[in-house]
Structure formats: structure tokens, C-alpha cells
């Protein structure tokens, strides 16, 4: 079975500071990992996805994530936070043995302080 | 525009009523989903259809009934609405035969039961 844990339900950073959102996964087979962003009153939008081609994945809006198998982690980072980054972020995992099932973390709310 | 579209965006109704939410995708995907997002932003999968066939049916009250007339449409009908049904309902779709295919979400339907 697969699962995802997002540490920190709320993260606050100053504008211009590093953003680090944590995601740890559990999977019995090689996972496919995703980060989604949800702005207020909108649906979830794909930020980036890991598909085993490269461990460092670049996404939209300057975000990137690094897959670390030894740590079972897929943390999301951005070097410099912008006010427009304030949103809810979700990590998700799927795998070949789960058919069409996605497992989402509980989300991390990012606040950017001016 | 290519997208997953849901109607209505907002739905306010009284307890005991029956209501439907419609979803359409023009991305050529073969699998569609309904997710429920509660007030704490937790995402719970409800149903999934692949080529009009129900493949995921989570523990959901049988007052909720999905219907897929074709692989581009997935509707959700809710009978005898209860206060606890208040939430945001998201439709999503993806390619099932591409393992790393991400979910594409609609913008959600905010259901308020009074």
C-alpha cells in the first residue's frame, strides 16, 4: 500500500526566503510522486511530478523537488518565496500496483509574510 | 480550452433535497474521479470510472450515486442531502494507461447544505 505524510500543516516564510515543504512517502514498489498547488477557491494544479527519469524535478513557478529514495522523501523547495506562492500544497503518490488510485497527503498551507 | 469543467460552481440547498453535479473533460482521458474536500482541506476519493465502468467505489453513503454516460462525462447525484455533505467536490481525470499520468482537476463545486 502507498501513503504520504506531509510534515507541518502550516508553514510561514518571509517574502524572498527559502520555501521548504516536506513530503515523505511509503510505497512497496517504485512510486510516482506529485506535488499539487491549490489557490483559494480553485482546483488543484499540478506543480511537478517525479517519474524516475531524474531525481531533481523542476516544476512551474520556480518550484523544484528532489526524490531521495534512501530517505523516502520528495520535499518541495523554492529559493525565494513570492507573495503569490501563498496557497495549499499537496503531495501525492501513485504506483503501478495501485491501479488508478492516488494517495494524497493532508496538505500544507503556505503563508508568505511581506 | 482543454480542461475539466464542473457545474455548478456553487450549490446551496436545504437538507433532504436531491442535487446533481456535472463534470466534463475534453482532454481525451479514459478515467474520471470524484473527490470530496472537507473544511480541513483533506481530500478523500469517492469514485472512479474507467471507460464508463466503475473501478473505485470507496466507503461513501449510498445516497451518493455516480453516473458516467460516456468517458468524457461523470456526474454525481446526491439524494436526501445532509448537513455533513457540505464540502467542496472535485472532479478529476487522467490517462489510466500512462502510469505517471497526473490527475487533472476541475475547479470544484462548493456544496452548502442548510
Question: First and final CA of chain A: distance in angstroms?
Answer: 41
Residues from chain B that touch A100, judged by Cβ atoms under 8 A, are 31, 33, 48, 50, 55-56, 94, 96
- Are A44 and B45 within 8 A, CB to CB? no
Percentage of residues in chain A with pLDDT exceeding 90? Answer: 76
The whole-angstrom distance between A114's CA and the closest CA on chain B is 25
Residue A2 has what pLDDT? Answer: 80
Contact at CB, B48 and A94, closer than 8 angstroms:
no
CA A15 to chain CA centroid, nearest Å: 19
Q: B66-88 pLDDT, tens per residue?
A: 999 999 999 999 999 999 999 99
A45 touches chain B (CB under 8 A): yes
The residue-averaged pLDDT of B83-103 equals 92
pLDDT band at A100 (very low <50, low <70, confident <90, very high): low
Taking the CA of residue B100 and the nearest CA in chain A, the distance in Å comes to 6
Q: How far apart are CA A91 and CA B111, in angstroms?
A: 25
> What is the rounded distance in angstroms from the CA atom of residue B8 to the CA atom of residue B107?
10
Checking if the pLDDT of B106 tops 80, the result is: yes
R_g of chain A, CA atoms, integer Å: 14
Q: Which residues pair with B22 in a beta bridge?
A: B7
Q: How many CA atoms lie within 13 A of B15 on its CB side?
A: 4
pLDDT above 90 coverage of chain B, percent: 82
Exposed, middle or buried: residue B98 (CB in 10 Å: 0-12, 13-18, 19+)?
A: exposed
The set of residues, in sequence order, having a beta carbon less than 8 Å from that of B87 and lying 6+ positions away, is B36, B37, B38, B39, B111
- Give A34's contacts in chain B (Cβ within 8 Å): 102-103
pLDDT score of A22? 98
pLDDT at position B90: 97
Q: Which residue has the higher pLDDT, A1 or A45?
A: A45
Q: What pLDDT shows up at residue A101?
A: 83
B9 Cα distance to chain centroid: 12
pLDDT at residue A17 tops 80 = yes
Confidence tier at B1 by pLDDT (50, 70, 90): low
Contact (CB<8Å) B55/A99: yes
* The three grid cell numbers given for residue A72, joined into one nine-digit string: 523516502
Inter-chain CB proximity B31 and A100 less than 8 Å: yes
Once rounded to an integer, what is the mean pLDDT over residues A74-96? 94
Q: Please, which pLDDT band fits residue B2 given cuts at 50, 70 and 90?
A: low
Q: Residue B110: its chain A contacts at CB < 8 A?
A: 41
% of chain A surpassing 70 pLDDT: 96
Measured between alpha carbons, how far is B79 from B86 in angstroms, rounded to an integer? Answer: 13
Amino acid at each position: 500500500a502507498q501513503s504520504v505524510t506531509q510534515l507541518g500543516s502550516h508553514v510561514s516564510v518571509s517574502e524572498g526566503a527559502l520555501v521548504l515543504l516536506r513530503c515523505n512517502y511509503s510505497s512497496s514498489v517504485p512510486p510516482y510522486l506529485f506535488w499539487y498547488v491549490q489557490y483559494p477557491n480553485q482546483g488543484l494544479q499540478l506543480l511537478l511530478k517525479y517519474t524516475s527519469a531524474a531525481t531533481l524535478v523542476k516544476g512551474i513557478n520556480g518550484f523544484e523537488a528532489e526524490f531521495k529514495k534512501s530517505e523516502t522523501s520528495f520535499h518541495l523547495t523554492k529559493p525565494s518565496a513570492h507573495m503569490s506562492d501563498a496557497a495549499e500544497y499537496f503531495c501525492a503518490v501513485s504506483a503501478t500496483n495501485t491501479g488508478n488510485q492516488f494517495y494524497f497527503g493532508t496538505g500544507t498551507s503556505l503563508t508568505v509574510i511581506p | 480550452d482543454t480542461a475539466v469543467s464542473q457545474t455548478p460552481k456553487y450549490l446551496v440547498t436545504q437538507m433532504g433535497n436531491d442535487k446533481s453535479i456535472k463534470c466534463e473533460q475534453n482532454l481525451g482521458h479514459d478515467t474520471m474521479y470524484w473527490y470530496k474536500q472537507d473544511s480541513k482541506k483533506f481530500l478523500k476519493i469517492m469514485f472512479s470510472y474507467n471507460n464508463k465502468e466503475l473501478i473505485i467505489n470507496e466507503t461513501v453513503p449510498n445516497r451518493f450515486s455516480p453516473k458516467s454516460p460516456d468517458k468524457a462525462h461523470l456526474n454525481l447525484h446526491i439524494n436526501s442531502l445532509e448537513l455533513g455533505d457540505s464540502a467542496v467536490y472535485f472532479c478529476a481525470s487522467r490517462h489510466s494507461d500512462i502510469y505517471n499520468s497526473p490527475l487533472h482537476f476541475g475547479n470544484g463545486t462548493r456544496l452548502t447544505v442548510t
